[in-house]
Each structure stands twice: as structure tokens, then as C-alpha cells.
Amino acid sequence: MVPVRNTKVVESVDDDDLIQLAYPLAIKPWFGSLAEKVGLWDKRPMIKHLELDEMGTFVWRAINGENSVRQIAAIFVAHYEVQPREAELSVTAFIKTIGQRGMIGLK
């Protein structure tokens, strides 16, 4: 599987060269209707922010639409000198998390 970044995600870099991501929050239709009725939502996209640590930043930069999850894990092993299984678990968990938030898709 090859992770692909969502084009609606906005990336910025802080002074420590770490990445912050801003992404639109997916609103469930039933929740949107309820929030609108009680005046909590004006139908504008809700934007969430996520600050990545050093390893998250490293993995995010490796997601280029060409590297597979396995390739990203191998790059992670080479850079951080960790065990391959540990890298696979960490990279997979991170990709799953940002995938659930709609920040990436898999092809």
C-alpha cells in the first residue's frame, strides 16, 4: 500500500523544523444538522491542527505518493537505527492514525 497525502492538508514548519498540519474535520451529517440547529456550526469547514514530533515529521516527509508503507518503514530503520519490526509497527500505527483523520489515503 502506498500512502498519498490529502491535498486539503496544509503543512507548515516551525522553528525546530517540525511540521504542523491543518486539515478539514469530517463532520457526520447527523451531527452537522444538530450543531447547526442549536447554533454551534455555520457550515464553514472546521479545521483541526496536528503538531508532529520528530519521528512523525520524518514519516510525513517520506509520504510522497511513491513510497510504500514497507519502504517508509525501511527508510525509518536506516535513519533511526531501530529494529525492522519496531519500525513497521510504529510507521503503520502512525499511518493508520493520520488515515483515520482523513489526512492521507492509500493506493
Classify 94 as helix, strand or coil.
helix
> What CATH code is carried by the domain that includes residue 25?
1.10.10.1150
User: Following DSSP, what letter does each residue of 2-64 receive, concatenated?
Assistant: -EEE-TT-EEEE-TTS-EEEEEEPPPPHHHHHHHHHTTS--SSPPEEEEE--HHHHHHHHH-S
Total domains, the chain: 1
Range of the domain at 85: 3-106
**pLDDT the model gives residue 39:** 76
**pLDDT (tens digit per residue) in 35-48:** 777 777 676 777 99
Please enumerate in sequence order all residues whose Cβ is within 8 A of that of 94, keeping only pairs 6 or more positions apart, or say none: 55, 56, 59
**pLDDT the model gives residue 40:** 72
Phi, psi of 15, rounded to the nearest 5 degrees: -65, -25
Please enumerate in sequence order all residues whose Cβ is within 8 A of that of 14, keeping only pairs 6 or more positions apart, or say none: 20, 51
**pLDDT (tens digit per residue) in 58-104:** 999 999 999 999 999 999 999 999 999 999 999 999 999 999 999 99
**pLDDT the model gives residue 58:** 98
